[in-house]
Amino acid sequence: MKTQLFQLSTGVQFGVAPTSQIMPTNHTAGVTGNGATKSGSMKNLSLFLLGAAFTLCPVATAQPQSAVYLGSAGSYAVLAGSTVTNTGLSIVNGNLGVWPGTAVTGFGPGKVNGTEDAGDVAAQHAQASLNIAYNDAAGRTSVGIVALAGDLGGRTLTPGLYKSTSTLAITGALTLHGNGVYIFQIASGLTVSSGGSVVLSGGATSANVFWQVGSSATLGTTADFKGTILALTSISLATGATLDGRALAQHGAVTLDTNGVTIPLQNTVLVVLPPAPPQRD
């Protein structure tokens, strides 16, 4: 009995040993006597080949995510809807803005290495860009979307699209490993505990991490967070927390307390202007 070789479009060869020998006569195959057995063997062979084709063909996987386009909001390290308040020696490396509110308090003693846009046209345009970016992040879909729930502390995640239907917390360290875009869709709040952190490894960068938060985000005391927070309501950083990314709130306040907030420099040019010379009488 000879084994016949078949080659599918995948380029993989495999052997099939027929269960009975089929001997054609002239132009037609014999169907008398053991014809039923021969017909059954051919049917089994066809089904086997069809099943093998489905098995060997690659399964569809989620396509890599593209970065969320922030537009004019991308130059803002802090952007609020109602007010920006600060306590202590916070340092904001990037622009700071608020719209439609106009109140910015606590600078100094806090320092902004960028422009302050309080209720002006620049802040209005940035809020318009934030609205588009928020809806983009919230509306992303993927074949391989990963469901998340509860506490992410102690976990390691790779690039992709992640979705929580409730709140998310980070207690301890969350590791993002691998070069690519990370998008987190959070239906409600995001809470990072005191001392909690996001650790980047394997080529991951804060410029490619986006947190779409359906209500408010809170970073606890001395938390070390990475990525751009796109919050529907408000963002609060407790004493000593640092953010390598952006705190962008659509409708509520951004509250700082002796923090460092620095926009990622990838795809962004940060120009720090020297102070204006003193005016002379």
Check residues 64 and 179 and name the one with the higher pLDDT: 179
- Within 13 Å of residue 9, how many CA atoms lie on the same side as its CB? 6
Q: How far apart are CA 275 and CA 27, in angstroms?
A: 95
Given a cut of 80, whether residue 257 has pLDDT beyond it is: yes
Instruction: Give dist(CA 132, CA 72) in Å, integer.
Output: 11
Mean pLDDT of the chain: 82
From 223, 210, 209, select the one nearest 258 (Cα to Cα). 223
Is pLDDT of 110 > 90?
yes
pLDDT (tens digit per residue) in 75-97:
999 999 999 999 999 999 999 99
Tell whether the model's pLDDT for residue 151 goes beyond 80: yes
What is the share, in percent, of the chain residues with pLDDT greater than 70?
72
Quick one: pLDDT band at residue 9, thresholds 50, 70, 90? Answer: very low
Preceding peptide of 108 cis, ω within 30°: yes
Determine the pLDDT at residue 142: 81
Residue 60 pLDDT exceeds 90: no
Place of tokens 């809170």: 218
Quick one: average pLDDT of 45-53?
46
pLDDT at 252: 97
pLDDT of residue 216: 98
Q: Is the pLDDT of residue 157 over 90?
A: yes
Lowest mean pLDDT among 52-61, 64-73, 210-219: 52-61
Q: Is the pLDDT of residue 21 over 70?
A: no
User: Which pLDDT value is given to residue 59?
Assistant: 31
**Banded model confidence at residue 36, pLDDT cuts 50, 70, 90:** very low
For 155, the token pair is: 């976990």
The answer on pLDDT for 192 being more than 90 is yes
Query: What does the block give as tokens for 269?
Result: 């040019």
Q: How far apart are CA 220 and CA 159, in angstroms?
A: 25
pLDDT interval class at 261 (50, 70, 90) = very high
With cut-offs at 50, 70 and 90, classify the pLDDT of residue 143: confident
